Structure formats: structure tokens, C-alpha cells
Amino acid sequence: MISLTDAFESGSKLCSFCAQEKITLAEAMIRREIARGEMTREEILEEMKKNLLVMRESVRSGLEDYIESVSHLSGGAAMRLFRYAKYDPFCGSNTCRVAASAMAVVEVNASMGQIVAAPTAGASGILPGVLLECGIERNWTDEQLIQGLFCAGAVGLLFAENATISGADGGCQAETGVGSAMAAAALVELSGGTPEDALNAAAMTIKNILGLVCDPVAGLVECPCIKRNALGAANALLCADMTLCGINSLIPFDEVVATMLTVGRDMRKEYRETAMGGLAVTPTGKQIAEKVKHFQEIERRNETF
């Protein structure tokens, strides 16, 4: 017998717990929250509904309002890609809209708008972009989407407990990679997949971007973060589909999680959110960083006067 307390120690334990209780990953996550003793089931579901509404508004705002980041480095890309989705894109209209929705949220984040970290602000677009856009396609109710968010939460928690969800600790694989894993698992569970299937999809997403560095230009969560959310969303769709058609990850989920942590720890500090490596130190990256520093200095002086 596996207890709820031990269930989140690994993916395989969580799957065994779900099989023992005949429940989904989402339900295991809800029970874990109830066991913390702070809220009733109804209150927990209500809290998640609030998250869903914030996610929906951030997608809407990024796609419909013209959003420019505080640094003026980014804005409007999500809206542009969403409109382009009508014109026979190579990756298909649905993928294009999902990717645009993911970018929308990170653009909102860069403009200091409200988002839900999933698992972090830098990776906040993937889960809402994937779930909300696929939800429209599939006519999923808010109740179903909320179950999807709990499933995603369970997967995010497995990474947080057994590896890392921080770019400063494990590079971008730990942020957009985990966001992608959470979204893929949610799609699979909402499509009737088992907990093992959901974690299979999650494992594949991480394998696909294993070793991805964190190298934000000028130290801002904009470049390459916004476009990496688009990639993370597409990765989630593909891994969900591969799982649902019966393709298995050769390396099991728990081993992928452990590998992600090892690879993250092996990364030099330049590639872990310090803006001292990768794209951040390209000639263009450095020029942008100088300009941003200059504008920040002017703003500081204006505030003083």
C-alpha cells in the first residue's frame, strides 16, 4: 500500500497510488491539497478556477490588446502569429494558435500584467496556451480544464520534489521543459489516458529539450523566453499525440527527471539565468543589455526628480 504522503516521491509511486485508489493524477493532486488541511475540496476547486480565469484573461489580453513590454523589447508577436494561423501555416492552424496563445501570456508577463506561474513566470504561457486553445477545439468545459490544471500541477510537483523547476538551478529545460511536460500530461489525461500515459508524454517533452540553457538577454524574461513558450507548447502537443497513438518513451519518466537534474547541475553558471552566456552574450544581446541599462538609468533619475 502506498500512502498519499509517499505518493509524490516519484512518478512510479504516484502511478501505483493512482492505480491502488483507481483515480487520476488530477484527483491525487486534489487529495494531496485536501490533506494539507488548509482548505476543503470545494475551496481548492474554487481556487483553481480563479487560476483558470487569470490564465484565460492573460491569453485574451496578449492576443487582443496591443502589448508592449516595459523594456520595449517585445510585444505584438503573439497577436501576429494568431492572425497568421488562418493562412495555411506549415505547422497547422491549431498548433499555430496554441503557440500564439502561449506567447501571449509571456508578453503579458513582460508588460507587468497578471499571469499564473506554470511552473514559473518565464514558462507561464505553455500550460494556458495549450489547455485553453485545445479546450476550445474540443469543447472542454471549465470543470474539465480545472481537472487538467490539477493533473499539470501533479506533474509540476513531481519535478519540483525530485529535480528542479528553476532556470537558475537547471536551465530552461527546468522551466519551459517542465511547463511543456505539465501541459502534455494534462492533454493526455483529459483525453482519457492513464497516469502512466500522462507521465510518458511528460517524459518525452523533457527528452526533446534536455540540456536547454537559460540565457535571457539583458536578464529580462523576454528573449528567448517568449518564443521558447511557443516551442514548449508545440512540444506538448506532439508528445501528447505520440503518447495517444501508442508511442512509448524508452527512458521512463523518473529516469528522465533524474537526468534533467544531473544535466542542470552540470551546466556552468553562465547557462543558469545569469545572463552571462548563450544568447545573452552575443554581440546583439550585449548591445541590447547596454541599451536596457541606459534606459533603466534614465528612468531611475526621472523617479528621483
* Contact stretch for ligand SF4 (CB under 6 A) within 84-92, 133-141, 222-230, 297-305: 222-230
Q: Which residue in the set 95, 101, 176, 243 belongs to the binding site for ligand SF4 (CB under 6 A)?
A: 176
Burial (Cβ within 10 Å: 0-12, 13-18, ≥19) of residue 162: middle
Please state, in angstroms and rounded to a whole number, the distance separating the CA atoms of residues 143 and 155.
19
Which C-beta is closer to ligand SF4: that of 63 or that of 172?
Answer: 172
Please state, in angstroms and rounded to a whole number, the distance separating the CA atoms of residues 136 and 39.
30
Q: Does 58 bind ligand SF4 (CB under 6 A)?
A: no
- Would you state the cell numbers that stand for residue 295, as one nine-digit string? 534606459
Min separation Cβ 222 and ligand SF4, Å: 8
Q: Which residue in the set 26, 29, 116, 172 belongs to the binding site for ligand SF4 (CB under 6 A)?
A: 172
Please answer whether residues 123 and 206 qualify as being in contact, where contact means their C-beta atoms are separated by less than 8 angstroms.
Answer: no
Please answer whether residues 175 and 122 qualify as being in contact, where contact means their C-beta atoms are separated by less than 8 angstroms.
Answer: yes
Q: Cell numbers 475540496 label which residue?
A: 41
CB atoms under 10 Å from CB of 74, counted, come to 23
Q: Which residue in the set 273, 280, 285, 288 belongs to the binding site for ligand SF4 (CB under 6 A)?
A: 273
> Contacts with ligand SF4 in 130-159 (CB under 6 A)?
none
Q: Which of 128, 135, 119 is nearest to 206 (CA)?
A: 119
* Contact stretch for ligand SF4 (CB under 6 A) within 74-82, 90-98, 151-159, 212-220: 212-220
Min separation Cβ 262 and ligand SF4, Å: 17
Footprint on this chain of ligand SF4 (rule: CB under 6 A): 122-123, 167, 172, 175-176, 214-216, 221, 224-225, 228, 273
